[in-house]
Amino acid sequence: MTRPDFTITADDARALAASARVCGRPMLRRVHDRQTGREEVVPIPCGSTREAVCPACARKARNIRIQQCTEGWHLTDEPDRPSRANSNDGEDQDDDEDQDDEAGPGSKRVRSTKRRQNLPDLPKLKMSHRTVGQVFTTPAGKQYRPSMFATCTLPSYGPVLISGAPKHPGSYDYRRAALDALHFSKLCGRLWSNLRRCAGFNVQYFSVIEAQKRGAPHLHATIRGAIPRAIFRQVVAATDFALWWPPFDVPVYDDRLPEWTGPEHGYVDPDTGEVLPTWAEALDRIDSDPDAKPAHLMRFGTQLDLQGVIPEHADQAVRYLAKYLTKAIGETHTDGADPTYGGHLDRLHAELQFLPCSPRCANWLRYGVQPDHAKSGLIPGQCRMRAHDRDNLGVTRRVLPSRLWSGKTVDQHKADRAEVVRQTLLSAGIDDLDLDRMAATVTLPDGTPRFAWTDVRPDHDTYVRIVLDSIGERQRWRAQYEQAKTLAAAAGVSTVAKPP
C-alpha cells in the first residue's frame, strides 16, 4: 500500500506554531562554538507585538506589559531609578523635564512659549520628589492608598456615525485629524509635565495609546497616587502643544520634485537651480519672525473620564488597558465594520502620506524645505517612517510609561519572568535549560568571543523543522514546568509566572 503524503507546508507550520504559542516566523542564526567546534541553528523569536503577524510573540509582549503595569501601579516604596544607558525599550519616555520637540536631532533650540490668552492659569504647588501615592485614613482608622485610571480624547473633526465613519466626509477635517495623530504623544507629554507641577509630586504613569472608532487616538493611563479631579480637569483643559515647524499648509512642489546636487548644497529648485533652505535655516526664519505662528496647535477634547482605583480592583483595569495592544491602530475596529469605515481609514491614511512626520521626513521637499540630514533619493510621499503606514495611522508609540513607574526596563521585566521559571524548575531538580549557555558575553581565555553568530536564510524544509522542534521543546518545557509547580505547591512555594 502506498504511504500517504503528509508534507507540511509553511502555512501549516505557522498554524501549528500559533496553536502551540511558539513564534511562527523566527529569525534563524547559526552559532559556532569556538571551544567545542559545535555548530547549530538557533531560532530567535521575531518579537512582533501584533497578533496578525505573530500571535505567540504578541501575546508574550502583551503579558510583559501587563506585568510592568501591575508592578508599578500601587507601589508603596520608592522604585529604583533605572539607568538611561540600560533602557533600550524604545518606548519608555522621560518626562521629568519638558522635552524639546521643535529642534532636529543633535540640536537644541530654546523657544519662548506664550500661553494662549483664553487658557486658565494653572496652580503650582511646591514639588515633592515622591512618586508613590499618598496614604489616606478613614474615620474608622482604615488606611488606603488610592490611584487613578484616566482616559483623555481628542476634539471632534466632524460628526460621525455609530460605525465611526463621518456623516459628512466632504467636510470632515482629515488634515487636522492626521496632524493630531502624528503628534498626540507630544501632547500627552505636556499633560504629564503640567500635572506634576499642579499635583505637587513626581506623578508616575503607565499609558497606552489606542484608537477610537473614528480612527483618532486616545489615551488610557494608570496613575500612581490620587490627584483631585478638579485639578486634573483644569490641567487637561489648559494643556496644549504648539508645533514650531516651518509652514507646510501649501505644497511648493506638487507636479515636479527638487533635484539632488550632492552633499554640499543638497536639493535645489528644478527650474531655477536655487538651493532650498536647510532645516536649520527654515527654523531660523521662524525665530526671527515676530509674527510667526505655530505650524500646528493641538489640545485635548472635552471628553475626560477619571476613576479612582484601589489595589484590590486594579487587575480588571490593567487588562482593559492592554485589551488592544496586540492590534495595529488601523485594525482595532475593522472586524465586522461596514465598507464606508474602510474608506474613512483610507482617506485618513491618504492625508498622512504627504504630511511631514519628523524633521527628517522626505515630505519636507514637497513644501520647499530640505529635511534635516538630507540625503539623495528622498521622494515626498515615500517616507519610510512607520507613522505613514496604514496600520499605524500616524501613531508609532503605543505604550508610554514614565521612567520611574516600576524602576525597571522592559528587558528587566522579561528577565524577571524568565528567572521565576528557571528557579521553579531548579527547585524541582530540572536544570537542563542552561539559559546562559550561548550568552554573547562569554569569552575564551584569549579574550575571543566563544560564540560566533551568522544569519541563516532557511529553505522550506529547514524552516518547517525548526518550527516543529520549537513546538516540541516548548511542550517539554511546559510539562517540566507543570511538574515543578506541583512539587512547589506541595512544598508550600508559590509561583507567579508562566514559561516565557
**Is there a single domain that holds both residue 395 and residue 434?**
no
Of 389, 390, 414, nearest to 47 (Cα)? Answer: 414
In a domain, residue 119? The reply is yes
Q: Could you tell me the three cell numbers for 152?
A: 483623555
**Is there a single domain that holds both residue 244 and residue 340?**
yes
pLDDT for the residue 82: 67
What is the rounded CA–CA span in Å between residue 422 and residue 433? 8
In a domain, residue 3? The reply is no
pLDDT for the residue 6: 54
**Is there a single domain that holds both residue 396 and residue 451?**
no
Of 352, 414, 351, 434, nearest to 385 (Cα)? Answer: 352
pLDDT digits (tens, 9 = 90+) for 156-191: 999 999 999 999 999 999 999 999 999 999 999 999
In a domain, residue 145? The reply is yes
Per-residue pLDDT for 133 more than 50?
yes
pTM: 0.85
In a domain, residue 225? The reply is yes
**Is there a single domain that holds both residue 214 and residue 299?**
yes
**Is there a single domain that holds both residue 46 and residue 134?**
no
User: Which amino acid is located at 401 in the chain?
Assistant: P
Among candidate residues 405, 429, 455, the one where a domain is terminated: 405
Q: What is the dihedral of CA 407, 408, 409, 413, to 10 degrees?
A: -150
In a domain, residue 497? The reply is no
Among candidate residues 405, 429, 459, the one where a domain is terminated: 405
Q: What is the DSSP letter of 392?
A: T
What domain range includes position 27?
10-52+417-490
What is the rounded CA–CA span in Å between residue 304 and residue 220? 10
Of 29-43, 322-336, 338-352, least confident by mean pLDDT is 29-43
Residue 118 CA from chain centroid, whole number: 33
Numbers of helices and strands, H then E, in the chain:
10, 14
Give residue for cell 524602576.
407
**Is there a single domain that holds both residue 208 and residue 147?**
yes
**Is there a single domain that holds both residue 103 and residue 199?**
yes
pLDDT for the residue 208: 97
What is the rounded CA–CA span in Å between residue 312 and residue 399? 24
**Is there a single domain that holds both residue 449 and residue 361?**
no
Q: Which phi and psi (to 5°) does residue 11 adopt?
A: -65, -40
pLDDT digits (tens, 9 = 90+) for 269-315: 999 999 999 999 999 999 999 999 999 999 999 999 999 998 888 99
pLDDT for the residue 126: 87
pLDDT for the residue 161: 93
**Is there a single domain that holds both residue 357 and residue 448?**
no
**Is there a single domain that holds both residue 322 and residue 443?**
no
What is the rounded CA–CA span in Å between residue 297 and residue 482? 55
**Is there a single domain that holds both residue 443 and residue 472?**
yes
pLDDT for the residue 298: 96
In a domain, residue 288? The reply is no
Among candidate residues 361, 376, 405, the one where a domain is terminated: 405
**Is there a single domain that holds both residue 15 and residue 46?**
yes
Per-residue pLDDT for 138 more than 90?
no
What is the count of structural domains for the chain? 2
In a domain, residue 279? The reply is no
208 three-state secondary structure: strand
Higher pLDDT, 476 or 402: 402
252 three-state secondary structure: coil
In a domain, residue 281? The reply is no
How many angstroms separate the Cα of 479 from the Cα of each of 399, 430, 471, 484, 499? Answer: 33, 11, 12, 9, 10
